Structure 1
Amino acid sequence: MKHLFITTLLFFMTAFVMAQQTNTIEQYCSMKIYYSIIADGATITIDEGKDDEIMHRLGKRLRDSSNNLIRFKSPVDALNYMGKQGWKLVHTVSNSTDNSDYLYLFKREVKKEE
């Protein structure tokens, strides 16, 4: 009888834990790196699916609070920046035949909006 009670209790506890809903969802974004011949370093654009696609293609670059372009020394510098913002690299896609142009896909957990 004791074993039956413990088994039933464990079953209901497992069902209860699995039925709990999480308060977070996954959010995705893409990052593209642009290199400048004139200025040192590179700039990036980030698409979170909110911006107008035309503005994104015109080069809406990432800026700081003073509206200055944020420049990166290398692709790894840009990836480290995204990591500090809470993003995790999911996939990298080459946009060109010579593999010189990449699109970086990221995700992060954010709280659900009710």
Structure 2
Amino acid sequence: MKKLLLFLVSMGCFFFSHAQEKSSDTTFVKKVFCEIVGRGNFMGTKVDISIDFGQKISFFKQYNQKLMVDEEGKRIKFNSMIDALNYMGKFGWEFEQAYAVSMGNTNVYHFLLSKDITSDREFLYGIKTKAMIEEDVTINRK
């Protein structure tokens, strides 16, 4: 009786289990991260967003060089951190974690974002910083 019950359970597992099929798509997906830092001025309603991808930037220039800019190199002013998150979401970035640090009369908001990419070209898609614009100008002059 035990052997029959064991056989029936084994057969049930066999029939209801699904084998994993090897996908013909051999793309490798990796998760990348960035941090957006929002600073509002004391009297203003807009927020400046700097973005950190882990890029190498001079210590003395790091705040200005990481500011998010449009295609012409003009600083993008966001209405709030949520506005900045929605902007980043358009390019596939997803929220991971947030924290705020008080600096004098101003709160500095740090949001950690992630994105799954299959190639390095996708990493910076749609995002520009002041340093990227200046580097592009330097490359184009040569």
Q: Normalising by the residue count of structure 2, what TM-score does the alignment of the two structures yield?
A: 0.58
SS in 1 for 2:70: coil
| Cα 1:37–1:100 shift into 2, 3 Å | closer
1:97: Cα distance to partner? 7.9
Distance 1:107 1:53, change over 3 A: farther
Q: 1:60–1:38: structure 2 CA closer, same or farther, 3 Å change rule?
A: farther
Instruction: Report the CA distance shift for 1:65/1:39 in structure 2 as closer, same or farther (over 3 A).
Output: farther
Partner of 1:87: 93
Show structure 1 runs of 4+ deviating over 6 A: none
Instruction: Please tell me the root mean square deviation across aligned C-alpha atoms, in Å.
Output: 3.4
What's the CA shift string for 1:46-80, capped at 9, x where partnerless?
10112326232455311111010111112211111
**Matched positions, count:** 106
Q: 1:23 aligns with which of 28, 37, 40?
A: 28
Rg larger for: 2
For structure 2, list consecutive stretches of 5 or more residues without a partner in the other structure: 1-9, 121-142
Equivalent of residue 103 in structure 1, options 72, 94, 110: 110
Give percent identity, aligned residues only.
23
Whole-angstrom CA distance in 2 between matches of 1:53 and 1:29: 18
Are the counterparts in 1 of residues 40 and 108 from structure 2 also a CA contact under 8 Å?
no
Q: What residue ranges of structure 1 are gaps of 5+ in the alignment?
A: none
